[in-house]
């Protein structure tokens, strides 16, 4: 399973990227708004940090298919390896099918059911983004959704990849890997929580103290 970072914060992206574990950056309008920058400026700044192979996801904000298509074409032109995020709704599916026929890579976002994921794949989406945490928030089990989509895509040999989003904690990320998600897009805070372990810290402290006792 690949790891993407779910942020537009430059310091977070720089730090996570320097670890060599992140191969994509996902944004949405809420994430961009948090940085107080224009969409194009935020994407340009992210592009300047990451390698050309790194995927960057930018989302359309229009609600009609034809406008989504226009926006999607413009987003796609910003840089190579730009993925256009489009909501999984009726107009969104229309837009995805038009853009995918033009060779533009799309991600059906705000996906909350296996049926939506199946339609996203049928429309030609390269990625589908089910929101694990938000499913948990309403008292359902987000991970069951991921498992079902992963099984369905495997049986159907669908080329669409699962970018599991709305990941809130390290357990989510581990369970996503076990459920068969292709990618987990993870907030910076969750990545750091995955790294930190009290036994690693105390073990390191002890090794360093013991090193002092070694005759030099």
Q: Which is nearer to ligand G3P, 29 or 203 (CB)?
A: 29
Q: How far is the CB of 62 from ligand G3P (least distance, A)?
A: 19
**Minimum CB separation from ligand G3P for residue 98, in Å?**
24
Instruction: Using CB under 6 A, list all residues that contact ligand G3P.
Output: 6, 26, 28, 31, 131, 133-134, 165-166, 168, 185
Find tokens 């340009």 and name the residue. Answer: 44
Task: Using the minimum distance from each CB to ligand G3P, give the nearer residue, 96 or 184.
Answer: 184
- Rounded Cα–Cα distance for residues 80 and 41 (Å): 16
CA-closest candidate to residue 25, choices 60, 58, 56: 56
Q: How many other CB atoms sit within 10 Å of the CB of residue 170?
A: 16
Instruction: For ligand G3P, give the closer residue by CB, 98 or 116.
Output: 116
Shortest CB 133 distance to ligand G3P, Å: 5
23: exposed, middle or buried (Cβ count in 10 Å: 0-12, 13-18, 19+): middle
* Shortest Å, Cβ 189 to ligand G3P: 11
Marked catalytic residue, from 67, 77, 85, 209: 85
Could you give the CA distance from residue 61 to residue 214 in angstroms, rounded to a whole number? 62
Based on the residue annotation, tell me whether 189 is a catalytic residue of this protein: no
Nearest to 75, CA basis, from 110, 47, 112: 47
Residue nearest to ligand G3P (CB): 165
> What residues pair up with 111 in beta bridges, in sequence order?
130
Q: Are 170 and 190 in contact (CB under 8 A)?
A: yes
Q: Which residue, 9 or 70, is less far from ligand G3P as judged by CB? A: 9
**What token pair was written down for 130?**
């089910």
Give catalytic residues, as residue numbers.
Answer: 85
């Amino acid at each position: 399973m690949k790891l993407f970072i779910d942020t537009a914060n430059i310091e977070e992206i720089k730090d996570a990227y320097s670890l060599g574990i992140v191969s994509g950056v996902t944004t949405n309008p809420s994430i961009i708004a948090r940085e107080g920058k224009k969409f194009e400026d935020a994407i340009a700044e992210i592009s300047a940090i990451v390698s050309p192979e790194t995927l960057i996801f930018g989302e359309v904000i229009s609600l009609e298919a034809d406008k989504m298509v226009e926006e999607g074409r413009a987003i796609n032109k910003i840089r190579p390896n730009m993925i256009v995020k489009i909501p999984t709704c009726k107009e969104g599916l229309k837009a995805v099918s038009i853009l995918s026929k033009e060779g533009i890579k799309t991600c059906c976002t705000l996906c909350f059911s296996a049926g939506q994921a199946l339609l996203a794949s049928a429309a030609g989406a390269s990625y589908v983004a089910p929101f694990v945490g938000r499913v948990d928030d309403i008292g359902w089990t987000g991970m069951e959704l991921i498992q079902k989509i992963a099984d369905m895509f495997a049986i159907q040999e669908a080329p669409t990849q699962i970018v599991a989003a709305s990941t809130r904690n390290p357990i989510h990320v581990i369970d996503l890997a076990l459920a068969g998600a292709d990618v987990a897009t993870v907030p910076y805070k969750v990545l750091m929580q995955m790294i930190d372990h009290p036994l690693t810290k105390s073990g390191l402290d002890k090794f360093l103290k013991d090193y002092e006792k070694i005759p030099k």
